Amino acid sequence: MKLAVATAFLAGTAAAFTAPAFSRPSSFSAAALKMTATETETYTFSKSEEIFAEAQTLMPGGVSSPVRAFKSVGGNPVVFDRVKGAYAWDVDENKYIDYVGTWGPAILGHADDDVLDAVKATMDKGTSFGAPCPLENDLAKMVIDAVPSVEMVRFTNSGTEACMGMIRLVRAFTDREKVIKFEGCYHGHADSFLVQAGSGVATLGLPDSPGVPASATKATFCAEYNNLDSVKKILEDNKDEIAAIILEPVVGNSGFIKPDKEFLEGLRELTTEAGALLVFDEVMTGFRVSYGGAQEYFGVTPDVTTMGKVIGGGLPVGAYGGRKEIMEMVAPAGPMYQAGTLSGNPLAMTAGIETMKKLKEDGVYEELERKAKKLVDGIVSAAKEHGHAICGDYAGGMFGWYFVDGPVKNFQEATKADAEKFGKWHRMMIERGVYLAPSMYEAGFMSMAHTDEDIERTIEIANDVLSQL
């Protein structure tokens, strides 16, 4: 059975979140919340438990991607039934304010009506062609117009696939094998990237993955994020041998770590001097922190960019792009081979096009960042009021916080956060109707569908939970 969280969840519509269980203070300070917070009842998950128990007999760990299993936060995952706007409903009919947003793509909110209508119309023509279609041109032109580094683009089916193509491309273009990545940055599950990779690897406590041969990673060097000296040392020790420096320009796979602008500017200078390429993995940040991605947000232009998530509007997609002279190495224009059966399929292209049309409207990213700031500031304030060590940050529609005195500038500092407290916090928030990423090594995502009432209600629930931790 389902129990309501206060009274705001008694109704099963978005309107339920606009009718508070108690009057809200005009300023959402933790002190004000402390005086007004009420006892909250919690959800039950009998159907989710039943379905997940069966799933564990059918799929490894019961899931199709490791972080979904809730291993790092305890308990079992909730099983979703449907999503709409800023909300998700599980199979027990519990309703959540969702800040995972299918891990980033749902920037407009789940199941946007215009996107769905366009996809349905395209579906009538077929789900996949395996041949060129004009929709590829349309989305390619939008990506090239938006992203400063991209003059040509190749579509793939996932972020991992985009990064696999990217690393082969940078090696082919430079005729060098060695690459530099950063501790805690995740670039998909290809062998050469599973070295101190953050995200699901960090969540499960696996420093590397079994089955990855030493030969696959011997040319991958790891530096410390936000530390130019660690990069300089590797470049000096491997003079004229580094093909590329690859990073998440905002880390979303070690929690949420914002770069110092000087760090990104320094990497641009170092790669130019070393004859290496600078690669921004914007699978997560692309069209998420600004319309032109993190490279527009920080004003630093890489040579190659990988993308995914948002550009597929909720359908499987990936892409990599860069300067024309680099991209013309890719087959069939050049000798670097990469292919994909469903790449550029009309459904993903349509969803991406319709999503990006809306994202190009004035004020979208300012509004996303305003809401992300409001949420982070409210959570941090409430936590500090209750005596918890915490720090948090945001960029555009991405955000995150750690239960540790900050700031957190790299993966090693992120590992000092209180994982046990995060696990308890996560479970208690879910039981009260707030769906957060089930790992302290994952960023959160704001959507255009989230309202101020959603955010205020989230802060109220968080205040109640934090008072009990």
Residues assigned a catalytic role = 186, 281, 309
CA dihedral 287, 288, 289, 290 (to 10 degrees): 30
Angstrom CA distances, 86 to 28, 96, 106, 446, stand at 21, 8, 9, 9
Burial string for 33-72 (b: 16+ CB within 10 Å, else e) reads: beeebeebebbebebbbebbeebeeeeeebbeebbbbbbb
Token pair recorded at residue 373:
């700031």
What is the Cα–Cα distance from 145 to 297, expressed in whole angstroms? 15
Burial string for 294-324 (b: 16+ CB within 10 Å, else e) reads: bbbbbebbbbbbbbbbbbbbbbbbbbbbbbe
What is the Cα–Cα distance from 287 to 398, expressed in whole angstroms? 11
CA angle, residues 29, 35, 36, in degrees to nearest 5: 90
Residue in 340, 337, 343 with CA at minimum distance from that of residue 172: 337
Token pair recorded at residue 185:
């940055």
